[in-house]
A and B are shown apart, each in its own frame.
Chain A
């Protein structure tokens, strides 16, 4: 086994592009579910609408990239309003159903051949990222140390990405420590109690849905801009649940929970893949049990088992407070 290669891959994955994308998605979910108690199962819908918002603005309307980003955020706000207006007065599970359905509807619409000229259909779109890489101030070359060595292009994307993560975290910290944060946390505990004290619960839930959705959309925009392409296949329901996994791993309703959770989630996936792949290649795992193609999926099984163990032995996640979990059940 080449342990050094596995460890290096693991360390890179912990700060890689996926870690950034899912950190942003999970920060949004933390606002929704961790702080406000809104069960959003369609975070990927916000990521998709942000991504397509920026891609279509740049390609079809020849807008500069930063205007495209604003359009993407505007689309996310609109999506939050459309989802929230009918459902936020209802019980929590209605929002869950509507969000997952809406994200699927959006994905199927965007991959439909009817609007192929506009959306690229199932092939997606490319060529909208030049505005991002053109302004890269880093000269050509290879930078970094140890396992973290990147060319100027990757380094630029990672620097911008982690800056976005820090900004989103700062924004969430600022609002959650304020009286606004106190109200949304109270809504998570009991809406009627909050209403009885004169707070417009519906308005706060809408604001929370918009805030978390916009952060998710920023994650989606970073995703497609950094990879310089967008395809509908990216936006299946799976990313939402990866983001939930990252959030639960890190600890809900904790400022750093989603960020650290996402880093560990992707590091774990890389680690298990490395170990299983090499074990198969070197015959440590016999080929009648598992072949190289199956190894790629086994990592998800292993990470899933790991998550289950976490929920059993440390249900509060890495940063969580065990007392809070105990109180939840009362």
Chain B
């Protein structure tokens, strides 16, 4: 069962109907399944995730306070770091021991928290680099242009389409290093799409981006779900999480402490503990923020009188 679109209106058949809101719960159609993944740095256990499944065709948010191990978990799943223990499969293929580039080739592509635009390559070259299976990327075949010219043209057409969609077409020939921070985020996402992933892993796609552009990025992510992609993203901003995520996974101190829809997550006492305990005063969402502000104001007024 996957997320489907209704004929007239965007009505999602909720794939999470009847899924228990429990850490490590099984999903009806999991694209990524991980078991007992741990990663220790010296004495510190950065990640210790018992069981986790990611539903196909949905947008899953991975949240948690700073230092919860979200990015480390991301790195482990995508082969950028090696776990001490654990097994995980993507589309049924075991990934343990696979290097990062092989994971990417299987269709699980990630982006980075600190944007990695390739500064001294043009925007177009950044995009073309994303395409997989290029004949001209072999050393000896590269020498003979007729062998890869046609493929290069196809890739260029595809890249132009994506640049248009991400509002970067006018920067096509500029160096990527000349883009603004927000444009680089867009470029990184578009470049990842050139690899035609089934599962896109976005590490804080909205970090350091102005609110208007964040809205644009949210729109793009939702569009990816419409196109049938599975998206997992790490995020701090609870507003963003509420707007676009179908399912929320909460990590704290390396473990998954809660899973569920956004509405139930914000009411979950363990989640509130994790956020407020570790980071007292960090607002969970707008209401929470307003309430805290009101409280603080009341306190101030009391003190003044």
What is the minimal beta-carbon distance from B245 to any residue of chain A, in angstroms?
22
Interface assignment of B91: CB less than 8 Å from any CB of chain A: no
Contact of A327 among B105, B119, B125, B137 (CB under 8 A): B119
Contact B120 A328 (CB under 8 A): yes
Contact of A196 among B100, B135, B143 (CB under 8 A): B100
Contact of A186 among B118, B134, B138, B145 (CB under 8 A): B118
Contact of B121 among A177, A182, A192, A201 (CB under 8 A): A182
Interface assignment of B26: CB less than 8 Å from any CB of chain A: no
Inter-chain CA distance A188–B121, complex, in Å, is 10
Interface assignment of B78: CB less than 8 Å from any CB of chain A: yes
What is the minimal beta-carbon distance from A118 to any residue of chain B, in angstroms?
34
What is the minimal beta-carbon distance from B33 to any residue of chain A, in angstroms?
21
What is the minimal beta-carbon distance from A169 to any residue of chain B, in angstroms?
14
Interface residues in A170-191 by Cβ distance below 8 A to B read 171, 174-175, 177-183, 185-186, 188-190
Q: A180-B137, A327-B177 are in contact. Are A198 and B195 (CB under 8 A)?
A: yes
Q: A178-B148, A196-B192 are in contact. Are A186 and B121 (CB under 8 A)?
A: yes
Contact of B111 among A180, A185, A196 (CB under 8 A): A196
Contact B80 A180 (CB under 8 A): no
What is the minimal beta-carbon distance from A114 to any residue of chain B, in angstroms?
38
The total of chain B residues at the interface (CB under 8 A) is 43
Q: A174-B143, A178-B136, A179-B134 are in contact. Are A194 and B119 (CB under 8 A)?
A: no
Ordered by A's residue number, 9 sampled pairs between the chains whose C-beta atoms are within 8 Å are A175-B143, A178-B145, A189-B118, A194-B118, A196-B110, A196-B111, A198-B105, A200-B101, A324-B175
Contact of B128 among A171, A182, A196 (CB under 8 A): A182
Inter-chain CA distance A177–B139, complex, in Å, is 12
Complex contacts, B178 vs chain A, CB 8 Å: 323, 327
Interface assignment of B160: CB less than 8 Å from any CB of chain A: no
Interface residues in B119-165 by Cβ distance below 8 A to A read 119-121, 125-126, 128-130, 132, 134-139, 142-143, 145, 148, 152
- Cβ-closest 6 pairs across A and B: A327-B177, A179-B136, A178-B142, A180-B142, A198-B104, A193-B116
Inter-chain CA distance A323–B145, complex, in Å, is 29
Interface assignment of A207: CB less than 8 Å from any CB of chain B: yes
Contact B120 A197 (CB under 8 A): no
Interface assignment of B275: CB less than 8 Å from any CB of chain A: no
What is the predominant secondary structure among interface residues of chain A facing chain B?
helix
Complex contacts, A199 vs chain B, CB 8 Å: 101, 129, 137
Inter-chain CA distance A323–B175, complex, in Å, is 9
Complex contacts, B229 vs chain A, CB 8 Å: none
Inter-chain CA distance A85–B192, complex, in Å, is 29
Interface residues in A277-330 by Cβ distance below 8 A to B read 323-324, 327-328, 330
Q: A174-B142, A178-B142, A179-B137 are in contact. Are A196 and B78 (CB under 8 A)?
A: yes
Interface assignment of A116: CB less than 8 Å from any CB of chain B: no
Contact B143 A178 (CB under 8 A): yes
Interface assignment of B191: CB less than 8 Å from any CB of chain A: yes
Complex contacts, B166 vs chain A, CB 8 Å: none
Complex contacts, B78 vs chain A, CB 8 Å: 196
Inter-chain CA distance A196–B95, complex, in Å, is 15
Contact A179 B148 (CB under 8 A): yes
Contact B192 A197 (CB under 8 A): yes
Interface residues in B184-204 by Cβ distance below 8 A to A read 188, 191-192, 194-195
Inter-chain CA distance A182–B138, complex, in Å, is 11
Inter-chain CA distance A81–B118, complex, in Å, is 27
Complex contacts, B118 vs chain A, CB 8 Å: 185-186, 189-190, 193-194
Q: A185-B120, A192-B80 are in contact. Are A207 and B139 (CB under 8 A)?
A: yes
Q: Which residue of B lies closest to A323 (CB)?
A: B175
Interface assignment of A195: CB less than 8 Å from any CB of chain B: yes
Given contacts A171-B143, A178-B136, A179-B136, 11 further A-B contacts (CB under 8 A): A178-B137, A178-B143, A180-B137, A182-B121, A183-B129, A185-B125, A190-B118, A193-B112, A197-B129, A253-B120, A323-B178
Interface residues in B219-259 by Cβ distance below 8 A to A read none
- Most chain A CB inside 10 Å of its own CB: which residue of B102, B104, B137: B137
Complex contacts, A200 vs chain B, CB 8 Å: 99, 101
Interface assignment of B54: CB less than 8 Å from any CB of chain A: no
